[in-house]
Structure 1
Amino acid sequence: MAQDGTTASKPKTATASKSATASKSTTATKPAGQAAEKKPATGAAEAAPELKTDKDKFSYALGMNFGSNFKKQGLDLDPEVFAKAFAASFNAGKTAMTEDEMKTVLTAKAQEIRQKMAAEQAQKAEQAKQDGDKFLADNKTKEGVVALPSGLQYKILQAGTGPKPTLDDTVVCNYKGTLIDGKEFDASEKHGGPATFPVKGVIAGWTEALQLMPVGSKWQLFVPANLAYGQQGPPDIGPNQTLIFEVELVSIKKPDAPAGGAASGSK
C-alpha cells in the first residue's frame, strides 16, 4: 500500500372514483358550463421529448449529465429557474442578473459549500478516530495479538523461516486491506498478483512490520490512523481510519546487478 493512497424514485399512480353525490356537489360550486381546470403534467408524468436528431440526443444527454452530477453534489437549486437562466444566456437573451451579480452569488455559494464539506469531513474524522481507538483497545486483549509501543498491532497467521528485510530492501508481498467494519478497499490480486515495493516506500505501519517479518510469514496487521494515512485518507478509505491488512511476505527482491556485471570492474 503506497503512501499516496492507491476510492429514481418510482412514479406512483393512483385512481379515485367519485360518487354521484360528490359529482353533483362539485358541479354546484362552478358556474354552469365551466369545465374543470386541467393541471399541467409535472415530474414523472411529463412525456420525454422525441430525440430525432444528433443535436436532440446531445442536448438531452448533456442535460442528463448536468442533472445527475448536480444531484450527486447535493446542490439545492430549482431546475426550472436553472433552465430559464441557461436558455437566456445560451441564446444571448436578457438575464435577471448582471455578470458581476452572478459571480458574487457563485463565489458565496462555493465558500458555503466548502465550509459545509470541511465541517462534515472534520466530524467524520473525529468519529473515525474514536471508533479506531476503541477497536484497537479491544483488539489488543485478544489472544495472539501483539501490541507494539508505536501503536501497531499484529497477529501471526503463518510463521516464516526466511530472512527479514531491512529498511533499504525491496519486497514482494500479497496483501488485502480492509476497514475495521470489514469493507475491503484494496488487494494485490486486484492488480494481477503480488506487489513489489521498497520497505521505506509504504505507510509507516507497514514499514515497521515488514522489518519484523521473516520471508514466508503471513501476518494480520492492525494499523492505527497515525501509522497509515491519518487525515489524508484517500476517498475509498477516508480520514483517520484504522486499517487492517493481511500481509504475506513472499520474498526479498535481489538488487539489480550493476550495468556490465563483473566485467565492469576496474582492471
Structure 2
Amino acid sequence: MSDNLSKPEIDAPAGPAPAELVIRDIVVGDGAEAVAGATVTVHYVGVEFETGEEFDSSWGRGESIQFPLRGLIQGWQDGIPGMRVGGRRELVIPPALAYGPAGGHFLGGKTLIFVIDLVAVA
C-alpha cells in the first residue's frame, strides 16, 4: 500500500523541459483505478523542473490529502486517471497544463514535476 512508501526524492533532470505532459509509473498499483472526475486521496511531492527545488509536499504536512480531480491543474486531471491505488506515478507538467504563463501564480511559466502516491479513490 502506498501509505507504506516513504517520501520520494526527486533530482533535477538534465536536458530541456518537455513541451507535453510526461507520465511515468514508478510503482504500478493493484487497487481501484482512478478515473476522470474521481475524488482521489494522495501523497505527493512537487518540485520545479529547472531547479529541483521542492515547492509543495503532503509528506511535509505528515498526512495525505483528498482532492476532486476536477479541481486540480490540468496536468493532474490528465495524468492521474488510469493510475491504481498503491501506485506511484511521476508527472512532468509543462506550464500550459500547470499554472499557465509567468506573471500570475508564483509557479506560472514553470515546468513542474510531481511524484504522486495514490492512496484511495472515491
* TM-score range relative to shorter protein: 0.7 to 0.9
Hey, which bits of structure 1, 4+ residues long, moved more than 6 A?
none
Corresponding residue for residue 57 of structure 2: 187
**Larger Rg belongs to:** 1
Question: Is this contact kept in 2: 1:233–1:241, CA < 8 A?
Answer: no
1:49-198 matched pairs, under 5 angstroms:
134-136=16-18, 151-180=20-49, 181-198=51-68
Structure 2 CA distance for partners of 1:233 and 1:223, relative to 1, 3 Å: farther
Q: How far apart in 2 are the matches of 1:166 and 1:153? A: 18
Number of residue pairs the alignment of both structures matches: 106
SS at 1:230 equivalent:
coil
What is the TM-score normalised by the length of structure 2? 0.78
Q: Determine the C-alpha separation between the residues in 1 that align with 2:104 and 2:77.
A: 18
Measure, in 1, the Cα distance between the counterparts of 2:60 and 2:110: 21
Unpaired segments of 5 or more residues in structure 2?
A: 1-14
Q: Deviation of residue 228 (structure 1)?
A: 0.2
Structure 1 residues not aligned, in runs of 5+: 1-132, 138-150, 254-267
TM-score by length of 1: 0.37
Question: Which amino acid is the alignment partner of residue 90 of structure 2?
Answer: Q
Q: Tell me which of the two structures has the higher relative contact order, counting C-alpha pairs closer than 8 angstroms and 6 or more residues apart.
A: 2
Please identify which structure carries the higher strand content. 2
Aligned to 2:6: none
Question: 1:102 — aligned with what?
Answer: none
Partner of 2:82: 212
Work out whether residues 88 and 117 of structure 2, in 8 Å CA contact, stay in contact via their aligned partners in 1.
Answer: yes
Q: Distance in 1 between matches of 2:62 and 2:105?
A: 21
